[in-house]
Amino acid sequence: MNEQPCPKCHGARLKPEALATRIGPWSIIDLTRMPIDQLLGELEKLEFGQREKMIAGPILKEVRERLSFLQGVGLGYLSLDRKAGTLSGGEAQRIRLASQIGSRLAGVLYILDEPSIGLHQRDNNKLIKTLLDLRDLGNTVIVVEHDTDTIATADHVLDIGPGAGVHGGEIIYSGPVPGLLDCERSLTGGYLSGRLEIPVPAKRRKARKTKKYNLIVKNASVNNLKNLTVRFPLGVMTCVTGVSGSGKSSLVIETLYRQAHQFFQTGRQTPGIGTVVGLEHIDKVIDIDQSPIGRTPRSNPATYTGVLSPIRELLARLPESRARGYKPGRFSFNLKGGRCETCEGDGVIRIAMHFLPDIYVTCERCHGRRYNQETLEIRYRGKNIADILAMTVEEALDFFQNIPPIKNRLQTVFDVGLGYITLGQSSVTLSGGEAQRVKLAKELSRRSTGRTLYILDEPTTGLHPADIQHLLHVLGRLVDSGNTVVVIEHNLDVIKTADYIVDIGPEGGDGGGELVVAGTPEEVAACPASYTGRFLKQTLAS
């Protein structure tokens, strides 16, 4: 289905009579299409006579205040007519936060889940100030956060760990920030205090300038991009940086990925949005995003990574299985024969709630184990297929250490920092960051040609610094195999480890869409025009 602007109003959604009413030179559509930063500036320039000032004064005061709240949470690049469905989760959360500040309520408990997602370091300080203002109104603010600046500003920190999954669930520390820095058991405290750190690479991979070692995006003009031409070196890790709304996703996802994907699908590129030169030097492009690896309880890490296939083959080779005539398909919950037919191998029964989300209840026949009794009688080293799916990756790695086809696939999942998830864990329970790392593990387990372009959009979302270290190790392995990794990122720990940086800006919205600087982290840090460079300079010096 394709949407087209209305031929009558050209997308304005209003009658000509409504559009004829103007404030100065602007109609309501002109004003709502402006980025908030620009709109605030234009409202300040308005001049009224005495009578008009009496009418407009109180209204303008309210409008300016509300726009300032949105600007204060780092959303100055958005326009007021932006469709809600196109907002990221972080943007939507910050809009709700701005509306709460405007309400000036007191005695309210606010709970925010990673409000700093998608924010450049420049805007992060504005967000922290907003949270403190909310507290100072007489409210209680609870924030789930990995951002070290936000943690350092807190009045009280509750650190849970020490590890993830079965290795977590304990209160490691509860109290003011200085005490957290001295807590030896706390990984968070270790990174905050500097005892632990993600190091700057001693030597960076060199970005070569000759044509066959580069992809070049030419004349990119999607959204706010201003006829941009950018070089992406092959065989290195490139970070695309810039303030929120500067055009990073427009360049990388809407232009580079879209055109490369189209080229490998059809042999040609979409005209009118910019072209990518040099695609003959790679053989495929993969966007490893944070979308779910499956949308039903049937999908899980074991099926997605392919580790379930060698496990099923192993069980089918057991003497008891051969005596009964069981094939590998017997141990699949997608096929009739070995699965529980009451729940059809789901382990749960779906109950439709009509106008509410569906709910799932554990199957009373198999008690969530997915298989029938006959199948569960087949055991390898005392464990049946349901027991194996209930193991964590770490436990399964030890259990199958002498079975290379299984061990090697499990090792890649463990290497991306997911040793704590269970093999049969429903994919719908995985966070976006976990789903992304499962996808990375799958790519690592494949035979690589060394000519793949991997694209990741903010892969550190939801990750603790310890998890980021795992992620960087994995990305490094992909690049060391000859592949190319392009990452859109705000996290300075990732940016400082990149081989090459493309900084887009200088501002968000209409003030962005230009190449500010491109080069090594040290070269970007030396550029005074780059907001990223200013913060990177401090990070590299520390």
Averaged pLDDT of the chain: 91
* Whether residue 309 is found in the same domain as residue 278: no
Q: What pLDDT is recorded for position 198?
A: 94
Q: What pLDDT is recorded for position 381?
A: 96
pLDDT tens digit string along 247-289? 999 999 999 999 999 999 988 888 888 999 999 999 999 999 8
125-139 mean pLDDT: 90
Which one, of 509, 505, 504, 490, lies nearest residue 37 by Cα? 509
- pTM of the prediction? 0.85
Whether pLDDT at 297 is above 80: no
- CATH code for the domain of 104: 3.40.50.300
In a domain, 534, yes or no: yes
* Whether residue 434 is found in the same domain as residue 529: yes
Which one, of 452, 451, 456, lies nearest residue 471 by Cα? 456
Q: What pLDDT is recorded for position 12?
A: 86
| Contact indicator for 263, 276 with CB cutoff of 8 Å | yes
- Which is more confidently placed, 497 or 4? 497
Q: Which helix (H) or strand (E) holds 391?
A: none
User: CA neighbours within 13 Å on the CB side: how many for 54?
Assistant: 2
* Whether residue 461 is found in the same domain as residue 534: yes
In a domain, 218, yes or no: yes
In a domain, 423, yes or no: no
In a domain, 537, yes or no: yes
* Whether residue 264 is found in the same domain as residue 321: no
Q: How buried is residue 274: exposed, middle or buried, by Cβ count under 10 Å (0-12/13-18/19+)? A: buried
For the ranges 123-137, 177-191, 516-530, the lowest mean pLDDT is seen at 123-137
In a domain, 417, yes or no: no
In a domain, 380, yes or no: yes
Q: What pLDDT is recorded for position 1?
A: 59
* Whether residue 282 is found in the same domain as residue 374: no
299-312 mean pLDDT: 94
Counted domains in the chain: 3
Final residue before a domain boundary, out of 385, 412, 439: 412
* Whether residue 443 is found in the same domain as residue 490: yes
* Whether residue 436 is found in the same domain as residue 537: yes
Phi, psi of 350 (to 5 degrees): -85, 130
* Angle 424-318-304 from CA coordinates, rounded to 5°: 25
Q: What is the pLDDT confidence band of residue 192, given thresholds at 50, 70 and 90?
A: very high
* Whether residue 330 is found in the same domain as residue 284: no
* Whether residue 447 is found in the same domain as residue 401: no
pLDDT tens digit string along 373-407? 999 999 999 999 999 999 999 999 999 999 999 99
Q: How buried is residue 272: exposed, middle or buried, by Cβ count under 10 Å (0-12/13-18/19+)? A: exposed
| Contact indicator for 363, 357 with CB cutoff of 8 Å | no
In a domain, 481, yes or no: yes
pLDDT tens digit string along 69-94? 898 888 888 889 888 877 776 788 78
Give the separation between CA 6 and CA 18, rounded to whole angstroms. 16
230-235 mean pLDDT: 96
* Whether residue 349 is found in the same domain as residue 268: no
Q: What is the pLDDT confidence band of residue 366, given thresholds at 50, 70 and 90?
A: very high
Final residue before a domain boundary, out of 344, 378, 412: 412
Q: What is the pLDDT confidence band of residue 494, given thresholds at 50, 70 and 90?
A: very high
Which contacts qualify for 23-32: CB closer than 8 Å, 24 or more apart? 29/81, 31/80, 32/79, 32/80, 32/81
pLDDT tens digit string along 12-37? 888 988 888 888 889 999 999 999 98
pLDDT tens digit string along 29-73? 999 999 998 999 998 888 888 888 888 888 999 999 899 989 888
Q: What is the pLDDT confidence band of residue 354, given thresholds at 50, 70 and 90?
A: confident
Q: What pLDDT is recorded for position 489?
A: 94
Domain that holds residue 439: 211-291+430-541
* Whether residue 250 is found in the same domain as residue 331: no
Q: What is the pLDDT confidence band of residue 166, given thresholds at 50, 70 and 90?
A: confident
- CATH code for the domain of 310: 1.20.1580.10
For the chain, percent of residues with pLDDT exceeding 70: 99
Final residue before a domain boundary, out of 346, 377, 412: 412
* Whether residue 330 is found in the same domain as residue 349: yes
In a domain, 186, yes or no: yes
